[in-house]
Structure 1
């Protein structure tokens, strides 16, 4: 007779856990901070210049976002070996992103376009590092899928900033089609973020400073969201997805946590 393994009963939420969830909600609200708002404003000032580009060039953004996300997805685990194993802090990833952005912005729009895959890889690598801090398997394909989900959080100036809690407890399919489908879902939102970056870097030489600043801010932004996403996932493994996300959404709305 086949034995069934009883489902594990989630541990109840304690005041300490509720405080931790509330802190994660506060971190999400702060992600779009002063520096990010300044960059959004700067991007808005030169966005009209992007609209003057040929339609084919503007249409590249979605394709670039898809290609860059796929490349970053493939490189995430390999970058942890060799010299890459020494790249292991949020601070170092911000520095790498800043240097990449400065070089990409020096030549204006052409070099900024060429630098986008590099910036995306740095950001993905930073998000992947955060995932491992919260107990995710660094070599698991599902971990990389969850990193992709973080890129679907929208971006500065959008109406859907913040993580998609539908992915918190999700067991994602690991087929090639599933990866392709998730990238297709995430890419348009990430392309909107990239348009802000390109707008800020459109002016040669001056774009170097803008590129450095935008890359620093974007790494910081996605790292913050990664801490929220994977922090909630870690808590959900112990206390259950439904209870954790309910408290999280109440905290985001500024309401008192529900009675548990």
Structure 2
């Protein structure tokens, strides 16, 4: 997966210490959603019930459309827009979230592909940061795979890490198939995001907070995934083996 343009020299990693660090990063990521739930005054499982029936029925389709638009837009931006810091990326999505929260569900739906693109672009930067070339099909697949993580409002304490080892490839015309696999998993956290943004009264504030939390979460998940991939390269171990060892640390 390496390329001479992104080849970097990394200091050797201590296998056990790195797995401990990645496990802690997953725990940190999984704890961010409580801030949002406290703001909107509801439980995660109640958020999807707040969606209007037409929005809920079209959630998978809207998620797939957002992913496809984001995949193409983020890839196009590589080489044209420099990677930014985590905080700048979060600041951008805070702004788009606030705008999306002002007009309720219509504006939140319109904002969805924009924020997804910004987050995916940040994930590509994190892949590059770990020495993986985001222009390569298998790395682009790995970037999308991050969106198959449970979501910041999930209550599994970060123990579901199957997204790391999902078998996804980008050969020929398989981009639609790839997105079709991820969209149903992503539809649940994005549905929760839409509902939180449209909470009466808090509006723009909820939109800004929602996007900050979601951006932080997927940036953390990207660092876990690509950190694990880099460790697998160094150790010459299967990603599945390292993922299993990481999972044991989260139980």
Equivalent-residue separation in structure 1 for 2:131 and 2:29 (angstroms): 22
Matches within 5 A, 1:103-252: 103-158=99-154, 161=158, 162-164=160-162, 167=165, 172-177=169-174, 179-203=175-199, 206-239=202-235, 240-241=237-238, 242-252=240-250
Which structure has the larger Rg?
A: 1
Structure 2: distance between partners of 1:78 and 1:142:
17
SS of residue paired to 1:76: helix
Distance in 1 between the 2:193 and 2:222 partners? Answer: 20
In 2, Cα distance between equivalents of 1:71 and 1:43? 32
Compared with structure 1, are the counterparts of its residues 119 and 229 closer, same or farther at alpha carbon in structure 2 (3 Å cutoff)? same
- The whole-number CA distance in structure 2 between the counterparts of 1:24 and 1:196 is 26
Could you say what secondary structure the match of 1:176 adopts? coil
* Residue in structure 2 matched with residue 8 of structure 1 by the alignment: none
TM-score normalised according to structure 2 size: 0.83
CA RMSD of aligned residues (A): 2.4
Structure 2: distance between partners of 1:234 and 1:80: 21
CA distance in 2, matches of 1:114, 1:183: 19
CA distance in 1, matches of 2:197, 2:163: 32
Aligned length: 233
Match of 2:17 in 1: 19
Unmatched segments (≥5 aa) in structure 2 = 1-11
TM-score (norm 1): 0.80
Structure 1 gaps of 5+ residues are 1-13, 254-260
